[in-house]
DNA sequence: GCGCTGACAGAATTTGAAATCTGTCAGCAC
DNA sequence: GTGCTGACAGATTTCAAATTCTGTCAGCGC
């Protein structure tokens, strides 16, 4: 830490995108989304704010990139669940449960930081949409595996993946974060999970 | 209409709760939730604002009552679906579809008014909670009927009703109102409906 | 007595002038 | 040439003064 509270940075080194992103995360964590300014980021890095604009075309672009990185890091564990060698129903339940647990953990562990990233992600519909497509693609893979093995029986795999995503929104949509500490949230999650899994594996239809 | 734009009111009549509620709805429609004041309501009725406080203990209580009435009126058609003589799966689908269509209609027909009532309802968690319990009670009735006739097979009727409510949130939670004009919203609704109905009627599980 | 009024205190909101920030760019230093 | 600076215009945000609102209540008129 230096006099400005920012991380020491070699004075005779070129400024990198990565350094700026780290400083931006730092400033956002400390000041929150409403107060964090490009000037603050530059101050932490001990450069002029003009230098920041050599690496990012706008404050918005910088914040979008920070949001993107956060989403990537937060959901990294999910890809592993998709790839694991296990029955599709188990993987689906595991995937949903990991998604819920991870997000709830972040929300309850540091609510302020979570709220900050919520704002950032909410600012950029493009980033959100790309991220959601990725999530639904993972669901599609699990479901189509299940159909191949006979564990699942659905007519429209893409539609079902979308339906699973929508049906479980209460447990992954940050809009509901304030309800994630309800005492009966785990029971509610189990009920919806059971309903969804039963719906996919139904022999009737 | 009089000089103040409010409905004419007999000058030599006692002020009633009902008149105040109607005036409040009028003012909220015209000025929106942020600008509507008790003084405005009194102005429309051509009385002093002290008179309004003889019938409602606070501005909050007045707004809560307005919100309550709106929820009641908006969801009146649903009770009929619960009571109709038809197979439970049909009734459940009809109930969900009516809920979605009605709300979407209100949201798209007059977005400003819808947003106004959204704010009012959001202000009072007590009103919301009571309303949601009522909705889930209706779901419970349909599902338990279905279990009795063998159309549905679930171990926990209350839990399933809650799960159906949660799984269909994207189509009735006003937080999603901005997505209700998406081009593929009907397909998404059908997918979730199919998943839910299949999940309830599953013979496996 | 009964219903209503209107003045009042404290709380909340509005307003607009001052301060700060975003984004650009000519020019400096190496 | 390459990377950085800092002054600048226009946009946005802040802050405190002034207005408006909420909730109460003594008292008026029928």
Distance (Å) from the alpha carbon of A186 to chain B's nearest alpha carbon: 12
Q: How far is CA A203 from CA A22, A142, A199, B202, in A?
A: 51, 18, 9, 7
Q: Chain A residue with minimal CA distance to B176?
A: A175
Task: State the count of interchain CB pairs (< 8 A) between A and B.
Answer: 92
Stated in angstroms, how far is A117 CA from C27 C1'? 38
Position B11 scores a pLDDT of 67
pLDDT at B204 over 50: no
Q: For helices A111-123 and A17-35, give the axis angle rounded to 10 degrees.
A: 100
Distance (Å) from the alpha carbon of B190 to chain A's nearest alpha carbon: 9
Tens of pLDDT, residue by residue over B41-79, are 999 999 999 999 999 999 999 999 999 999 999 999 999
Position B52 scores a pLDDT of 98
- Tens of pLDDT along chain A (205 residues) come to 444 455 567 767 889 999 999 999 999 999 999 999 999 999 999 999 999 999 999 999 999 999 999 999 999 999 999 999 999 999 999 999 999 999 999 999 999 999 999 999 999 999 999 999 999 999 999 999 999 999 999 999 999 999 999 999 999 999 999 999 999 999 999 999 999 999 999 664 4
Position A6 scores a pLDDT of 52
Position A10 scores a pLDDT of 72
Q: Please check whether residue A159 touches B, CB under 8 A.
A: yes
Tens of pLDDT, residue by residue over B99-151, are 999 999 999 999 999 999 999 999 999 999 999 999 999 999 999 999 999 99
DSSP B36-64: --HHHHHHHHTS-HHHHHHH-SSHHHHHH
User: Measured between CB atoms, which of A156, A159, A192 is closest to B166?
Assistant: A192
Position B123 scores a pLDDT of 96
- Are the beta carbons of A128 and A77 closer than 8 angstroms? no
Residue from A164, A178, A195 whose CB has the most chain B CBs within 10 Å, to mutate: A195
Q: Is the dihedral of CA B88, B92, B93, B98 positive or negative?
A: positive
Q: Is the dihedral of CA B148, B152, B153, B154 positive or negative?
A: negative
Q: Chain A residue with minimal CA distance to B204?
A: A202
pLDDT at B4 over 60: no
pLDDT at B1 over 60: no
- Return d(Cα B153, Cα B144) in angstroms, integer: 9
DSSP B114-128: HHHHHHHHHH-HHHH
Nucleotide nearest to A39 (CA to C1'): C21
Position A2 scores a pLDDT of 45
pLDDT at B178 over 70: yes
The protein side of the strand D contact, defined by CB less than 7 Å from any of its atoms, consists of: A 14-15, 34-35, 46-51, 54; B 37-40, 49-50, 53, 57-60
Q: What are phi and psi of B162, to 5 degrees?
A: -60, -40
* Residues 20-39 on chain B lying near strand C, CB distance under 7 A: 34-35
Instruction: For residue A40, say whether its CB is under 7 Å from any atom of strand C.
Output: yes
CB contacts of B190 in chain A (<8 Å) are 159
Q: What is the mean pLDDT of chain B?
A: 94
HSE, side-chain direction, 13 A CA sphere, residue A53: 8
Indicate the pLDDT class of residue B205, thresholds 50, 70 and 90: very low
Helix (H) or strand (E) holding A57: none
- Given an 8 Å threshold on Cβ–Cβ distance, is B188 in contact with A160? no
- Are the beta carbons of B100 and B171 closer than 8 angstroms? yes
Stated in angstroms, how far is A48 CA from C22 C1'? 13
Nucleotide nearest to B16 (CA to C1'): C3
Q: How far is CA B44 from CA B5, B28, B62, B65, in A?
A: 7, 12, 15, 18
**Residue A61 token pair:** 């672009």
Q: Please check whether residue B136 touches A, CB under 8 A.
A: no
The pTM score is 0.92
pLDDT at B88 over 60: yes
Q: What are phi and psi of B183, to 5 degrees?
A: -65, -30
pLDDT at B91 over 60: yes
Q: Please check whether residue B175 touches A, CB under 8 A.
A: yes
Position B2 scores a pLDDT of 45
Q: Which residue is nearest to nucleotide D25 (CA to C1')?
A: B50
- Return d(Cα B147, Cα B157) in angstroms, integer: 8
């Amino acid at each position: 830490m230096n006099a400005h509270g920012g991380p020491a940075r070699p004075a005779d080194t070129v400024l990198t995108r990565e350094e700026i992103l780290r400083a931006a995360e730092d400033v956002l964590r400390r000041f929150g989304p409403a107060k964090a300014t490009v000037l603050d980021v530059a101050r932490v890095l001990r450069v002029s704010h003009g230098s920041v604009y050599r690496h990012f075309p706008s404050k918005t672009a910088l914040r979008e990139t920070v949001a993107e990185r956060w989403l990537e890091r937060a959901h990294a564990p999910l890809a592993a669940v998709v790839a694991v060698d296990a029955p599709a129903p188990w993987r689906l339940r595991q995937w949903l449960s990991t998604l819920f647990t991870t997000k709830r953990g972040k929300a309850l562990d540091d609510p302020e930081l979570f709220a900050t990233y919520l704002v950032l992600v909410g600012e950029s519909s493009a980033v959100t949409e790309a991220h959601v497509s990725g999530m639904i693609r993972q669901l599609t893979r699990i479901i189509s595996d299940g159909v191949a093995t006979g564990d699942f029986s659905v007519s429209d795999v893409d539609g079902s993946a979308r339906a699973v995503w929508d049906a479980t929104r209460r447990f992954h949509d940050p809009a509901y974060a304030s309800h994630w500490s309800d005492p009966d949230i785990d029971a509610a999650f189990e009920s919806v999970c059971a309903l969804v899994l039963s719906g996919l594996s139904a022999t009737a239809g």
